[in-house]
Amino acid sequence: MKKMIILTVLTITTFFVFTGRSGGLMLEEAVQDITNQTITRGLSPKEEAIGVSAIKRLTPLGVSVDSAYQLIIACFDQGIRAKEIAPIIRALELVIPTTGPDVTSIATTAVTNGYDPDDVIDIIVAVKTGTKAGAKSEIHEKIVLLGIEKGLDGNLITEIIDGFIKDIKNGLSPEQARKNAINKINN
C-alpha cells in the first residue's frame, strides 16, 4: 500500500513538472468546462459564447484562468445571463489596467453574494476610483470586501470609497482613512 501511494505521488508530481501545471485550470479546460456547464444547466449558446469570450478576454490582462472561470460560474449560479455578464466583463477590461487583476475576485465575491450586475459594476468602478486616487489596493479591497460581506449596496460602497479618498486628500493617513471607512461600514 505504501509503495502504491508513493508511486501515485511520483506520477502526479511528474505530471505537474512536465506539463507546467500547478493545480490551476488551463485555458482549454476552462473553455471546455464552460461549454459543458452551459449544456448541463440548459443555458443558451449566448451564455456559452460570453463565458468563453470572457475567459479569453480577461486572461491576457493578467487575470488567472481560474479567477475568470470562477466569475463566469458565479454569474451562472446567480442567474446572471449573457446580456448582464457582458457589461461586467467590459467594466473589468477597462478597470484592470488601473487596478490590477485582483478586482476580478472582488467582482466574483459581489456576484456570489447576490449583488445585481449594476451594483457589481459600481463596485468595480469604486475600486478603480480608489486606485486612481493613490489608495493602496489592499486597503480599499479590504474596505470593499467588508462592505460586500456586510451586504451594503453598490452605491453605499461607492460612497464609502469616495469618503476614504476624500479623507486621504484632506491629509489623513491611509490607516486612519481606512478606520473611518470601516466605521461607516459597521454603522
> What does the pLDDT read at residue 142?
83
More confident position, 106 or 154? 106
Query: What's the grid cell of residue 9?
Result: 505521488
Contact 87, 124 (CB under 8 A): no
For the stretch 69-106, what's the b/e string if a residue is b when 16 or more beta carbons lie within 10 angstroms of its beta carbon? Answer: bbbbbbbbebebbbebbbebbebbeebbeebbbbbbbb
User: How confident is the model over 30-89, as pLDDT tens digits?
Assistant: 999 999 999 999 999 999 999 999 999 999 999 999 999 999 999 999 999 999 999 999
Residue 99 and residue 109: Cα distance in Å, rounded? 16
How close are the terminal C-alpha atoms of the chain, in Å?
Answer: 57
110-157 pLDDT, tens digit each: 999 999 999 999 999 988 887 777 776 667 778 888 999 999 988 898
State the pLDDT confidence band at 3, using cuts at 50, 70 and 90. very low
Q: How many residues does the chain have?
A: 187
**Where are the chain's structural domains?**
24-186
pLDDT (0 to 100) of residue 137: 67
What's the pLDDT at 128? 87
